[in-house]
């Protein structure tokens, strides 16, 4: 078995172990591309913790941040399913070299649904393409005399960008 295949298999193994422990079917393995070293493994912790953001990818990113690593440059990320929009956004911020997913969203959808009153697995990605005023989650801009003040303060404190 090639090393790449071992990481894929390990992500699935983590997900299966998590299901056996009462968790959701998602695992993540972050690998240093150059050395092949596994930097972190994580499983979805939503059912165990009640933290709705504790998806496997975000749990892995948080664990690496606790060790002082603030990004995934130079890393490959192996996951059991194509990332949800929240995890996909986190991965874009973390900037791995690539994401390897085992199941497509359609394959996942045949057996698993994690929707809520605003969206379903089948419609979640479409929500992001809509203008904010047309999304299922109500959102409105609050009134404030200077909505840009926090961002100007940040820019002044960080002139290098």
**Which positions are catalytic?**
57
Contact 102, 12 (CB under 8 A): yes
| Paired tokens of 13 | 């193994």
d(CA 33, CA 80): 19
Is the dihedral angle over the CA atoms 53, 103, 114, 93 positive or is it negative?
positive
CA distances from 58 to 52, 79, 113, 137 (A): 11, 11, 19, 22
* Token output for 39: 């930097």
């Amino acid at each position: 078995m090639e090393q790449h295949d071992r990481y894929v298999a390990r992500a699935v193994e983590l997900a299966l172990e998590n299901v056996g422990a009462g968790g959701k079917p998602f695992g993540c393995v972050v690998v240093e591309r150059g050395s092949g070293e596994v930097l972190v493994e994580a499983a979805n912790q939503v059912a165990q913790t009640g933290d709705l953001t504790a998806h496997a990818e975000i749990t892995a990113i948080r664990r690496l941040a606790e060790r002082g690593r603030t990004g995934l440059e130079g890393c490959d990320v192996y996951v059991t399913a194509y990332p949800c929009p929240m995890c996909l956004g986190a991965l874009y911020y973390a900037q791995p070299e690539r994401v390897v997913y085992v199941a497509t969203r359609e394959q996942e959808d045949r057996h698993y649904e994690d929707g809520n009153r605003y969206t379903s697995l089948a419609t979640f990605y479409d929500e992001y393409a809509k203008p904010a005023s047309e999304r299922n989650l109500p959102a409105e801009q609050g009134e404030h005399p200077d909505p840009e003040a926090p961002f100007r303060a940040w820019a002044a404190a960080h002139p290098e960008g």
